[in-house]
Structure 1
Amino acid sequence: MLTNPPTILRCLLLLLATAILSGCSFGPDYVRPDLELPATFRGSDVSLSDTSFGDRNWRTVYSDPTLQALIEEALTAAPDLLLAEARIREAEAVAGITHADRLPQLSLSFATSPTARQPGDDLTSTFLGGAAISWEIDLWGRMRRADEAARADLLAREETGRGVYITLISQVATGYYRLLAEHDLLAVATRTATNQRESLRLIERLSTAGIATDAEIRQQEVALAVTEATIPAQKRRIANAENALSILLGRSPGSVLIKTGTEPDLPADIPAGLPSQLLEKRPDIMAAEQQLIAANARIGEAKARFFPSLSLTGLFGQVSTSASDVLTGSAASVASLGADALQPLFAGKRLLYNHEATRTRLDQSVITYRKTILTALAEVANALTNYRYSGDILTIQQQRTASAREALRLAESRYQAGVISYIEVLDAQRQLFAAETDLVQARLDRRLTLISLYLSLGGGWEEPAT
């Protein structure tokens, strides 16, 4: 029991000196692994530059006002984004708990303990109440490494949330353009069916005049039925696409208003920037690096457990054999300050295995980090290649559609002139229907490859408004 103020002062000075000496930490400090990155992306035809398409604001990439409104709605109500934000808050709380372990713990206590009883004495107890303080001195940096790991886990969770954010933007854009394509396909089917009905009425008039045959009427009826059958199926796909997009927006399944908007900017060549920029741009890479930092810090935490722990404890209160005296403050005062040291001697190799486990987790994190980078490089390369060739395919499909449309016009003219049979007209109708359908798909693919390229370059993130 310490009642002498100089003695207490010396203990406090000892406490301060111990805290200063606790500046060392076991375990390696983090150093980013050596990475052999290519000078440029495969498939990039743009001259080497640090300008990246991924640096553009998503509003300039997706300039359609209707799409922008849908993205804004998703960024405020999408379940995936709300879930990611909740997980970040959880990681913040866990990091706070870990950091709190480094601080002194102060509490109020009231305890009782038995008192030795002599023969003939009544049963009695000693009551002790007061303020207790406990502080584990981080001599070997175990708690600092744990704090470092927890903070890295938090940053990894934040990067994962950023990845959800930019992925959500791309998913809404993808869903929107798919829905537009489904409407375009419905328009193609409806227009084709309308033209085929006109052709059927023409053949019926020609048949009345003795020019066309009943067989030609039946052939046109079959062709019309085939086209009309695609219309309800297409309406079903539109409903399914609307339901999928509604979920992304955080809505109940329902219709989504589609307006004719602005065509996205589809340049011939897109600057991809430098591969090294992905390390600071892609959320998945940055999250993997933070997980690597956490795994590295936990090696020091595990190593520090081999060494003794030191805790300083103190109690300032009152003691008495009467509980009421302690509660009313009339009991004798007591003050104590001391240190507890604990050195592990034998734990069944538990500490050794724990240290080995942290080292293997670090190895796994390094492998995961490198794999994430390789995957990112492949995604950018694939997106660049797909975008370039999707432009070639779109051009070919546009030419094919124009040719098929002209072929149908010529076939109808030649049939009416009696030069060809109606079979050739039917074939020209089928060719145009297929060409227009494939053109819609080619236009959709072109848009989707742009979205994929923008996402693979880490594009879409913007700092939340404060």
Structure 2
Amino acid sequence: MRGSAFLLRVMPALLLTLGLNGCLFGPDYVRPKVATPATFRFETNEAAELANAPWWEQFQDPALNDLIAAALADNKDVKIAAARVDQFLGQFVTTRSALFPQISAGFDASRQRASQAGPTPLPPGVGPVFNEFQAPLMVAWEIDLFGKVRRQTEAARASLLASEEGRRATILSLVASVATAYINLRDLDAQLAIAKATTDSRAGSVKVFQARFSGGDVSQMELAQSQSEYEASLAAIPQIETQIAQQEDALSVLLGHNPGAIPRGRELAELAVPAVPAGLPSDLLERRPDLRQAEQNLIAANALIGAARALYFPSISLTGLFGSVSGQFSKLFTGPARVWSYAGSVTVPIFTAGSIGGQVQQAEAQQQQALFQYQQTIQVAFQEVDDALIALQKSREQLVVQGRQVDALRNYARLARLRYEGGYTSYIEVLDAERSLFNAQLSYTQTHGVVFNSLIGLYKAMGGGWVVQAEGMTGRVMQQGAAVHGANEAATEQPQ
């Protein structure tokens, strides 16, 4: 008796240890080797270690800072990504719960009548109508001897971390999108200012030519040429204003607001130019959340191979019941009413017509897909950084050349008008010079915006610690981050 009691005391602990430290089938995850170049193809010598700082503040525009803060707080894509993290957190908790015994309680009360004409007659003195009360406490536990649940938990944890990295990737894209949209808006504002200034200048010329035409000093053709150029610049204004309104609407949606006007800060030409972020290709594996997300997806797919292979082996379950059954409620919790039972079951697959093999094949194929997706994501990341670097270098060169072109055309337009006023040339030369100057000014402004957008694209492609700082500006990051960290710690402490 004493030995049996001791066995009953230590058996649960032994089974729990066995369930948590049994076999694990399937491959353990090892990060794949990646062919990483030593440097980027179009590396610059002006780079600075700024990838961990909020780079948008380098523009020194408080209005842009406020817009990004508003977007991080209210953008719907960020909220959707945050809700997705909650979803995978719940999935992780649900999956991991299968590692532990499931305990439930119940209470049943019934009144029934037994047949007096049945094959088993009632004992003498026992009436056919009786009551029955039950208060059981039930325990059920599937022992994870071969690691199926632990591999499923590993996959659920990786999926949770992938969703968290997906949320960070959303934040990264959002900050870059808001900054790009704002730069585009200020670019359009500058183009509108050029178009209005040119239109005002040409309106003055039209008035002068109308007066001269009335006095017979110029021909009707010269007056018509002057009016034509005036109407051309005037027609550009509503086109640019349409683009501005559409850009404001798009930016409003990024902020999580209904379409509306957008507050401005500095002019495009007054914005400070951010420094170029430094970094090596190998740094991207840790900096970019989309790469970390792809790796966590690979970890999850890798773990599910083990969960599928574990189906080949026996499934062991334990059940137990302890409670009371009585015909009278007043005696339900007395000693004679006590009942208990415990049992164990083993289920072994013998013939499944290829069902388990198909699941293993499916898991292995999904792991290969995740592996190739991870490798492709890395290559695309290298491409995006190189594309942003070359775009920045060449747009800067283009801006310098266009700046000289604008200066030359401005001088050309001034000299052409002086020659016309002096009677040395026709008004066509003046129109050509002013038309070229107008187009060059618009092109210069557009290229100026391209330079800023190339810098924004480079910060987006490089990733870095600034994403974490931006994450801290979102609504539920503290509460959610603590939950994910807790899940990570729990999975780390789980015996393997």
Superposition TM-score, scaled by structure 1 size: 0.92
Matches within 5 A, 1:1-400: 7=4, 9-22=6-19, 23=21, 24-46=23-45, 52-110=49-107, 118-121=119-122, 122=128, 128-260=134-266, 263-267=271-275, 270-320=276-326, 322=327, 324=329, 332-400=337-405
C-alpha displacement of 1:452: 0.5
C-alpha displacement of 1:323: 7.0
Cα distance change, pair 456–390 in 1 and its aligned pair in 2 (3 A): same
Contact 2:102/2:139, CA 8 A, preserved across alignment: yes
Contact 1:40/1:274, CA 8 A, preserved across alignment: yes
1:402 to 396, 407, 410: 407
Q: Which runs of 5+ in 2 are unaligned?
A: 123-127, 479-496
> For residue 145 of structure 1, what is the amino acid of its counterpart?
R
C-alpha displacement of 1:111: 6.2
Percent identity, aligned pairs only, is: 35
Cα distance change, pair 303–425 in 1 and its aligned pair in 2 (3 A): same
Q: Distance in 2 between matches of 1:45 and 1:225?
A: 45
C-alpha displacement of 1:272: 3.5
Cα distance change, pair 437–307 in 1 and its aligned pair in 2 (3 A): same
C-alpha displacement of 1:319: 2.6
C-alpha displacement of 1:29: 1.2
Count of aligned positions: 458
Contact 1:11/1:337, CA 8 A, preserved across alignment: no
Q: Distance in 1 between matches of 2:4 and 2:130?
A: 33
Contact 1:140/1:304, CA 8 A, preserved across alignment: yes
Q: Which whole-Å deviations, capped at 9, do the CAs of 1:320-356 have from their partners, x for residues lacking one? A: 4x37467666862112223222112222221111111
Query: SS state of the match for residue 297, structure 2?
Result: helix
1:462 to 453, 463, 468: 468
Cα distance change, pair 155–162 in 1 and its aligned pair in 2 (3 A): same
Which residue of the partner structure matches residue 419 of structure 1?
A: 424
Q: Distance in 2 between matches of 1:138 and 1:388?
A: 58
Cα distance change, pair 326–455 in 1 and its aligned pair in 2 (3 A): farther
Q: Distance in 2 between matches of 1:6 and 1:246?
A: 75
Cα distance change, pair 206–376 in 1 and its aligned pair in 2 (3 A): same
Q: Distance in 2 between matches of 1:405 and 1:390?
A: 22
C-alpha displacement of 1:12: 4.0
C-alpha displacement of 1:190: 0.3
Q: Which whole-Å deviations, capped at 9, do the CAs of 1:391-444 have from their partners, x for residues lacking one? A: 001111111111111111111111111111111111111101100110111001
C-alpha displacement of 1:141: 1.4
Contact 1:52/1:457, CA 8 A, preserved across alignment: no
Query: SS state of the match for residue 39, structure 1?
Result: coil
Q: Which whole-Å deviations, capped at 9, do the CAs of 1:152-175 have from their partners, x for residues lacking one? A: 000000000001111110010011
C-alpha displacement of 1:129: 3.1
Contact 2:61/2:265, CA 8 A, preserved across alignment: no
> For residue 265 of structure 1, what is the amino acid of its counterpart?
V
> For residue 28 of structure 1, what is the amino acid of its counterpart?
P
Contact 1:54/1:272, CA 8 A, preserved across alignment: yes
> For residue 356 of structure 1, what is the amino acid of its counterpart?
Q
> For residue 35 of structure 2, what is the amino acid of its counterpart?
E
Contact 1:275/1:377, CA 8 A, preserved across alignment: yes
C-alpha displacement of 1:144: 1.1
Q: Which runs of 5+ in 1 are unaligned?
A: none
Q: Which whole-Å deviations, capped at 9, do the CAs of 1:207-228 have from their partners, x for residues lacking one? A: 3443211211111111111111
C-alpha displacement of 1:234: 1.4
> For residue 348 of structure 1, what is the amino acid of its counterpart?
A
> For residue 371 of structure 2, what is the amino acid of its counterpart?
V
Q: Distance in 1 between matches of 2:297 and 2:287?
A: 16
Q: Distance in 2 between matches of 1:157 and 1:323?
A: 55
Contact 1:318/1:326, CA 8 A, preserved across alignment: no
Cα distance change, pair 123–345 in 1 and its aligned pair in 2 (3 A): farther
Cα distance change, pair 326–273 in 1 and its aligned pair in 2 (3 A): farther
Cα distance change, pair 119–152 in 1 and its aligned pair in 2 (3 A): closer
Q: Distance in 2 between matches of 1:409 and 1:284?
A: 54
> For residue 83 of structure 2, what is the amino acid of its counterpart?
A
Contact 2:57/2:65, CA 8 A, preserved across alignment: no
Q: Distance in 2 between matches of 1:157 and 1:316?
A: 42
Cα distance change, pair 28–176 in 1 and its aligned pair in 2 (3 A): same
> For residue 300 of structure 1, what is the amino acid of its counterpart?
G
Contact 1:29/1:296, CA 8 A, preserved across alignment: yes
Superposition TM-score, scaled by structure 2 size: 0.87
Q: Distance in 1 between matches of 2:236 and 2:328?
A: 88
C-alpha displacement of 1:257: 1.5
Q: Distance in 1 between matches of 2:349 and 2:308?
A: 13
